[in-house]
Structure 1
Amino acid sequence: MEKIESNSLFNKYVSETNILDIFSNDMIDKMDFFHFNKGDILINEGECSDYLFFLVSGKMKVFSHSSSGKVMFVSHFKSLQILGETCSLWQKAPTASVQATTNGYCIGISLIRYREILLNDVKFLRYTCMNLGERLSYMNSNTCITMFDSLENRLASFILKNSKDNIFHYNLTECAELLCTSYRHLLRVLNAFCNNSKLSKTGKYYKILDEEYFIEIASDSYDVNS
């Protein structure tokens, strides 16, 4: 990730996201603009961030590691989202990492210089609390669905939400992480869909052959990437 100087792009995302509306003070002169590439780590598990980041374009995944070293998916972000606020603001070591899954842009506010301003901004803190509440509700809902809905149901929902013109093309390793399953189990279910003429596979692409079937079995409230 690199800091860039692009007033036109910066102003575009400030206007599109209405980011200034979440602060009591005029923060535009306190913001830096960053470009990131797919795979870049914005927040490292166990390392305090010197910046509070606001995702304005692109997608991020949040993941942590179990004591055995297994990667555990936590959440998925699209713009506009604050990244790492509960840890960064109060200088606590984060328990999860945030990694870009696409190229994109984010706005950063230096916590070394402006932490006290943010911590004393009631409007910003209210927005942060609302954001955290929404995330907690989302995570609770997805946790329940992950526990009680089959992979077939969850994958059907994922395919519908991530297909275009009935073509599903997605990194399957990442798909397995997002659906909290193993890569091998994911392939077994995809192959079963193909064998039952619900999908067809051509190269790295899957084509939906029976959309009504996927709509019928999809987890109604499953919310990865929505």
Structure 2
Amino acid sequence: MEKVENKTLLNKYINETGILNIFSHDMRANIELFSFNKGEYLINEGESSNYLFFLVSGKVKVFSHSSSGKVMFVSHFHSFEVLGETCSLWEKPPTASVKAISKVYCIGISMINHRETLFNDLSFLRYTCLSLAERLSSMTSSTCITLFDSLESRLASFILKNAKEDIFYYNLTECAELLCTSYRHLLRVINSFCSTGRLEKNGKYYKIIDKKYLSEIASNISDI
């Protein structure tokens, strides 16, 4: 994590996200800009953060670990989003980690200096409640899809959402984690798509050959 001393860039993100509108009072003097490199943790499972972060640029994944140590994907964020608000506000150890999967910029508010201010800000608390409710609804829907839809359907959706000009290039280990499956199972399904003419492998990427078929079987996964 690195504090970014660039007022022009900070003002750019303030204007793009409208972050000041979620507070009752002008918080401009109380917010800071931070950057995280790919692979860095914004929040560590079990470790309380001294900052409340708002994702303003880049992409992060949220995941936790089961009692057996298995990684369990929770969600993906790639737009303006408040992160770890419950744990940061109430000083609770996070039950999940947030990791940057690209270069990330966050606006941060010091909990040491401004926790009481936020606790007494009705507009901010309303925003937080709405954000939590929407997130819970999305996670419930995604969990049902994971439980009841086949990997073929979920992978088809993932490929269509992440392909550019019908080219799918993605770290398959990461893809397996996001789809809550094993790397071996994922590879079997991808190879099946290739052998039946749905995809074509070219080096390290895959070209979509039968987009109609993938669209027909795709799950409705909104947050990946």
- TM-score between both structures, scaled by the size of structure 1: 0.98
Which residue in 2 is equivalent to 1:81? 81
Q: CA RMSD in A?
A: 0.7
Deviation for aligned residue 1:122:
0.5
Match of 1:111 in 2: 111
Read off the aligned partner of 2:113 and give its amino acid letter. Answer: R
Partner of 2:21: 21
Instruction: Indicate whether 1:218 and 2:218 are aligned.
Output: yes
1:222: how far off? 1.2
2:50 corresponds to 1:50: yes
Q: Give 1:79 deviation, angstroms.
A: 2.0
8 Å CA contact 1:62, 1:74 repeated in 2: yes
Q: Secondary structure at the match of 1:164?
A: coil
CA contact (8 A) 2:77 2:223 kept: no
Contact 1:158-1:224 at 8 Å conserved across structures: no
In the alignment, the residues of structure 2 paired with residue 161 and residue 111 of structure 1 have an alpha-carbon distance, to the nearest angstrom, of 36
SS of structure 1 residue aligned to 2:62: strand
Letter in 1 for 2:125: L
Map of 1:115-126 to 2, 5 A cutoff? 115-126=115-126
8 Å Cα contact 2:55/2:82 also seen in 1: yes
SS of 1:94's equivalent?
Answer: coil
The residue correspondences of 1:31-46 to structure 2 (distance < 5 A) are 31-46=31-46
SS at 1:76's partner residue? strand
Letter in 2 for 1:108: G
Instruction: Verify the 8 A CA contact 1:157 1:222 in the aligned structure 2.
Output: yes
Superimposed CA distance per residue, residues 136-160 of structure 1 (whole angstroms, 9 cap, x where no aligned partner): 0000000000000000000000000
User: Does 2:217 correspond to 1:202?
Assistant: no
* Aligned residue pair count: 224
How far 1:224 sits from its partner (Å)? 3.2
Residue-by-residue CA offset, 1:172-196 (whole Å, 9 max, x unaligned): 1111111000011000000000000
Q: Secondary structure at the match of 1:33?
A: strand
Alignment of 1:55-66 (within 5 A): 55-66=55-66
Q: TM-score, normalised by structure 2?
A: 0.99
Q: Give the Cα–Cα distance (whole angstroms) in 2 for the partners of residues 180 and 130 of structure 1.
A: 27
The letter of the residue matching 1:189 is V
Is the contact between residue 178 and residue 224 of structure 1 (CA under 8 Å) also seen in structure 2? no
Q: Distance in 2 between matches of 1:26 and 1:201?
A: 53
Aligned counterparts of 2:7 and 2:142: Cα–Cα separation in 1: 38
Mapping 1:75-224, distance limit 5 Å: 75-219=75-219, 221-224=220-223
